[in-house]
Amino acid sequence: MDPISTALKVAASGLHAQSERLRIVSENLANAQSTGSTPGADPYQRKTIAFAAEMDRQSGGDFVRITGIARDQAEFPVAFDPGHEAADANGYVKMPNVNTLIEMADMSEANRGYEANLQVIKQARDLITMTIDLMRNQS
Amino acid sequence: MKPVQLFDLAAAQARWLSVRQATVAGNVANANTPGFVAVDVEPFDKVLSRTTPAMVATDPRHIGAGAPSPIRKNEQVSDVPVKPSGNTVVLEEELMKAGEVRRAFELNTAIVKAFHRMVMSTAKG
């Protein structure tokens, strides 16, 4: 296959991976305060995403594949709120194990990765245009 | 009169550049993949000096004959510290390489254009 279209496809797989990552970040941030609804119930558990490189034998490109979306096994922090519907017998509520700062850092890294992939796509398009321009009528 | 090899040379360089662009794309896409080692293509002069005799396709059922020899990729040796994830991609370096590819490709197409114009002016008189 034409290497430039391989480049386009690889960059597209990178875009897809980074946008899925951004989706996970937004889910985590949105549910940063989602507790359970019965006494002592577990709250929202933070999601994590993992990538792996996958070599495509036909084109020789290193594509990115999402290997799985898992749950963060870190302990839940507890807050003292006896009036809450999820409070246990001692008045403690389990809060989600989402750290807003970590999510923010993850978000800007996903953003940076997305931008870099976009840049590659733009350039691959320019290379194709330059090649096509060779065939244009030169007066 | 000796045959003019410039178009051949330019085509070989364009092919090498597009393989390099695909390699850069792979590195950038895997900038967040744990354990991924950045790769780069071998230099163009090495590709040129490698004299692999190409097989000739004399029958339509011949597979892989007449195809240009593949451009090898090897792991990039750089002194960047490996991240805890084992990933060795540096985005800035990759974008710089992309810039190099772009500049070389522009030069390449400009030369082909100019040469084509020269050929045409000879043909038209």
- Along the 139 residues of chain A, how does pLDDT read in single tens digits? 788 999 999 999 999 999 999 999 999 999 999 998 888 889 999 999 999 999 888 888 899 999 999 999 999 999 999 998 888 889 999 999 999 999 999 999 999 999 999 999 999 999 999 999 988 876 5
From the list B35, B94, B109, the residue facing A134 with the nearest CB is: B109
Please tell me if residue A94 touches chain B, with a CB cutoff of 8 Å. no
Answer yes or no: do B24 and A7 touch at CB < 8 A.
yes
Low-confidence ranges of chain B (pLDDT < 70): 1-2, 51-55, 63-70, 76-80
From the list B25, B36, B116, the residue facing A7 with the nearest CB is: B25
Answer yes or no: do A138 and B27 touch at CB < 8 A.
no
At residue B8, the pLDDT reads 86
The secondary structure element, H or E, covering residue B114 is helix B91-124
Closest chain B residue to A139, measured at CA: B117
A-chain CB neighbours of B36 within 8 Å are 53, 62
Closest chain B residue to A16, measured at CA: B29
